[in-house]
């Protein structure tokens, strides 16, 4: 059974097609693993074992009948709890939505169901995707499988930890400022934030609509490419969805895996290094650069001077949009309703009581910052200025992509920190996302893949950024680097992680 759960999604798909494994066997192996270790790491809020096994049995039956199936049919998947699932509780990590059963599926869930991937359950996250540690979940924190005293990243800590702990071969994440890539970096897994609009946002519980993007959380670059092609593509229900088909990622990963990067220009972003970057993170980064050079890539240095202001612009734009998006949690149509403890029970007072009781600290903090930044007299100075910084960051990217085909940096400045270390210092927590945020502000795609272990024994992430609509480039470069690293290590990075004890 151990062998099944350690296979990649691509390998599982191949064995399912060849009839060496059944989907029921695979799905049961993962459910057994969840039963054994999830009490220790708390990746899942809900496990949907019965539904998953029913889908698996259906795939096995159809395959037996010789039906044409999607390449990933029968490969199980976990879904971040910010994505709505028809008939299955969706909480976004908030008390506000405890027990809420959505009446519809997100578009990406529809695609997963059409392709018949058994859905294992919904993964834990920071409340409404606000956080970098999963400590802000109303359903308890998720623990990092590499070290149970450390954070699994956030907001998608549940999805990333589920992959690192072999509780799922695939998962869905969402990334507004790094919530797919940073958890990937600190858990030794792969995470991709596609170009804005590559994957439909219909059915994601929105935080910041101009920044949110769903994407793959996997253990290999190829698995991300396969999942990206499955969930990507135009959706008439999302007016920001890109009209062109989202294909070519698997082919790009295959090309990259040959290890030849001749003619590829790789740009090191000067501003995403130096002060604040842990020595072990910088060392692994420098080693990866040498591997890319050895594969034939031309390495250049690029400067993006406005990135210095990206964090500040992000912490105005994101709360401003979040404060508007979260206005719908008013205790009227879904989720929690709390009546005021005294005085008249009017709609307005019910709203305030509901939101006071249902939202956690970080959500309140961001709604209030956003409301403040949008309020009369401050709008131009804060929100207006932040939008101008966004223009400057886009210009920096445009200039850098004149000199390089892809840009690279460490994904996060440090490895996973210990629980509680940054909980009382919001600014320190926000600094985790310093290298991932520029991509969201500009809409460009970004990937994080593991590129080694730091001095503290924790995994390090390597970020690849590509121009808008050029997601294929990061699959090519990512697969090339992954192949070179695994050759050096003699296997995947997760083979270096300590064994989780089953409870």
Partner 1 sequence: MSTISRDEVARVAALARIELRPEELDRLAGELEVIVNSVAQVNAVATPDVPATSHPIPMTNVFREDIPVAPLDRDKVLAAAPSAEDGKFMVPQILGEE
As annotated, the active-site residues are 80, 155, 179
Helix (H, G, I), strand (E, B) or coil at 121: strand
β-pairing, 119-123 with 77-80? parallel
Please give the size of the binding site for partner 1, defined by CB under 8 A: 76
Instruction: Assess 181 for contact with partner 1 (CB under 8 A).
Output: no
Between 372 and 489, name the residue whose CB sits nearer to partner 1: 372
Among 73, 164, 351, 408, binds partner 1 (CB under 8 A): 351
Q: Least distance to partner 1 from the beta carbon of 245, Å?
A: 16
Q: Could you give the string, one character per residue 428-467, with x where binding to partner 1 holds by CB under 8 A and - elsewhere?
A: ------------xxxxx-----------------------
- Dig out the tokens for 394 from the structure: 């886009």
The region of 130-138, 182-190, 370-378, 450-458 touching partner 1 under the rule CB under 8 A is 370-378
Between 381 and 495, name the residue whose CB sits nearer to partner 1: 381
Instruction: Assess 303 for contact with partner 1 (CB under 8 A).
Output: no
CB 253 within 8 A of CB 138: no
Q: Least distance to partner 1 from the beta carbon of 78, Å?
A: 23
β-pairing, 298-302 with 446-453? unpaired
Instruction: Assess 331 for contact with partner 1 (CB under 8 A).
Output: yes
Among 371, 421, 456, 492, binds partner 1 (CB under 8 A): 371
Among 210, 255, 303, 496, binds partner 1 (CB under 8 A): 210
Question: What is the longest distance spanned by two Cα atoms in the chain?
Answer: 72
Between 139 and 202, name the residue whose CB sits nearer to partner 1: 202
Between 262 and 333, name the residue whose CB sits nearer to partner 1: 333
CB 463 within 8 A of CB 444: no
The CA-atom distances, in angstroms, between 160 and each of 180, 283, 308 are: 8, 24, 28
Among 67, 294, 347, 495, binds partner 1 (CB under 8 A): 347
Among 67, 294, 345, 399, binds partner 1 (CB under 8 A): 345
Between 22 and 90, name the residue whose CB sits nearer to partner 1: 90
- Nearest C-alpha neighbor of 412 from the set 281, 224, 312, 279: 281
Q: Find the binding residues for partner 1 in span 382-421 (CB under 8 A).
A: 382, 384-392, 394
Residue that the structure tokens 């809900």 belong to = 46
Please, what's the b/e burial string for 195-218 (b: 16 or more CB within 10 A of its CB; e: otherwise)?
A: bbbbbbbbbbbbbbebbbbbbbbb
Instruction: Assess 359 for contact with partner 1 (CB under 8 A).
Output: yes
Q: At what angle do helices 23-41 and 9-18 cross, to 10 degrees?
A: 150
Between 17 and 234, name the residue whose CB sits nearer to partner 1: 234
Q: Find the binding residues for partner 1 in span 43-82 (CB under 8 A).
A: none
The region of 136-144, 161-169, 263-271, 310-318 touching partner 1 under the rule CB under 8 A is 310-318
Among 85, 278, 323, 463, binds partner 1 (CB under 8 A): 323
Q: Least distance to partner 1 from the beta carbon of 430, Å?
A: 8
- Dig out the tokens for 344 from the structure: 């008249």
The CA-atom distances, in angstroms, between 301 and each of 304, 321, 396, 433 are: 10, 34, 13, 21
Instruction: Assess 130 for contact with partner 1 (CB under 8 A).
Output: no
Instruction: Assess 244 for contact with partner 1 (CB under 8 A).
Output: no
Q: Least distance to partner 1 from the beta carbon of 422, Å?
A: 13
Among 32, 51, 330, 421, binds partner 1 (CB under 8 A): 330
Residue that the structure tokens 């404060």 belong to = 323
Residue 427 has a CB neighbour count (10 Å cut-off) of: 9
CB 152 within 8 A of CB 416: yes
- Nearest C-alpha neighbor of 55 from the set 123, 131, 103, 117: 117
Q: Least distance to partner 1 from the beta carbon of 117, Å?
A: 24
Among 112, 367, 400, 404, binds partner 1 (CB under 8 A): 367
Among 3, 18, 239, 501, binds partner 1 (CB under 8 A): 239
Instruction: Assess 257 for contact with partner 1 (CB under 8 A).
Output: no
The CA-atom distances, in angstroms, between 70 and each of 18, 26, 63, 232 are: 14, 17, 11, 14
Please state whether the peptide bond connecting residue 280 to the residue before it is cis, i.e. omega within 30 degrees of 0. Answer: no
Residue 483 has a CB neighbour count (10 Å cut-off) of: 18
- Dig out the tokens for 458 from the structure: 């924790």
The region of 14-22, 360-368, 447-455, 482-490 touching partner 1 under the rule CB under 8 A is 360-368
């Amino acid at each position: 059974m151990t062998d099944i759960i350690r296979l990649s999604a691509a390998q599982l798909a191949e064995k399912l097609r060849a009839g060496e494994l059944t989907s029921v066997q695979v799905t049961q192996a993962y459910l057994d693993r969840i039963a054994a270790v999830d009490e220790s790491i708390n990746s899942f809020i809900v496990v949907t074992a019965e539904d998953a096994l029913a889908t698996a049995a259906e795939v096995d039956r159809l395959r037996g009948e010789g039906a044409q199936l999607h390449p990933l049919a029968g490969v199980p998947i976990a879904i971040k709890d910010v994505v709505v699932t028809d008939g299955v509780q969706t909480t976004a990590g908030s008390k506000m939505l405890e027990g809420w059963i959505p009446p519809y599926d997100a578009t990406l869930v529809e695609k997963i169901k059409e392709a018949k991937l058994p859905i294992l359950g919904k993964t834990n996250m920071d409340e409404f995707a606000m956080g970098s540690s999963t400590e802000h979940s109303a359903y308890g924190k998720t623990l990092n499988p590499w070290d149970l005293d450390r954070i699994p990243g956030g907001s998608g800590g549940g999805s990333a930890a589920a992959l690192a702990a072999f509780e799922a071969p695939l998962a869905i994440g969402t990334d507004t400022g790094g919530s797919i890539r940073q958890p990937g970096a600190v858990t030794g897994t792969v995470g991709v934030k596609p170009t804005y609009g590559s994957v439909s946002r219909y059915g994601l519980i929105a935080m910041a609509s101009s920044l949110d993007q769903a994407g793959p959380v996997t253990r290999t670059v190829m698995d991300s490419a396969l999942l990206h092609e499955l969930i990507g593509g135009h959706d008439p229900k999302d007016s920001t969805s890109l009209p062109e088909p989202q294909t070519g990622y698997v082919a790009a990963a295959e090309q990259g895996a040959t290890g030849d990067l001749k003619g590829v220009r790789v740009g090191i972003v000067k501003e995403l290094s130096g002060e604040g970057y842990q020595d072990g993170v910088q060392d692994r980064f420098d080693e990866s650069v040498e591997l890319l050079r050895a594969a034939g890539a031309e390495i250049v240095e690029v400067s993006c001077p406005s990135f210095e202001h990206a964090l500040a612009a992000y912490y105005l734009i994101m709360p401003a949009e979040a404060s508007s998006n979260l206005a719908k949690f008013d205790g009227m149509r879904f989720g929690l309703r709390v009546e005021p403890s005294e005085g008249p029970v009017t709609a307005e007072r019910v709203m305030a009581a509901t939101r006071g009781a249902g939202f956690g600290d970080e959500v309140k903090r961001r709604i209030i910052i956003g409301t403040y930044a949008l309020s009369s007299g401050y709008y131009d100075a804060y929100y207006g200025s932040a939008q101008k910084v966004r223009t400057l960051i886009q210009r920096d990217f445009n200039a850098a992509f004149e000199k390089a085909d892809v840009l690279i940096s460490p994904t996060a400045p440090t490895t996973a920190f210990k629980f509680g270390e940054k909980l009382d210092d919001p600014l320190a927590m926000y600094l985790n996302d310093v290298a991932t945020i520029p991509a969201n502000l500009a809409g460009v795609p970004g990937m994080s893949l593991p590129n080694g272990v730091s001095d503290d024994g924790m995994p390090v992430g390597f970020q690849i950024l590509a121009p808008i609509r050029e997601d294929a480039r990061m699959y090519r470069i990512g697969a090339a680097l992954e192949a070179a690293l695994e050759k050096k290590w003699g296997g995947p990075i997760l083979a270096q992680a300590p064994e989780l004890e089953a409870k």
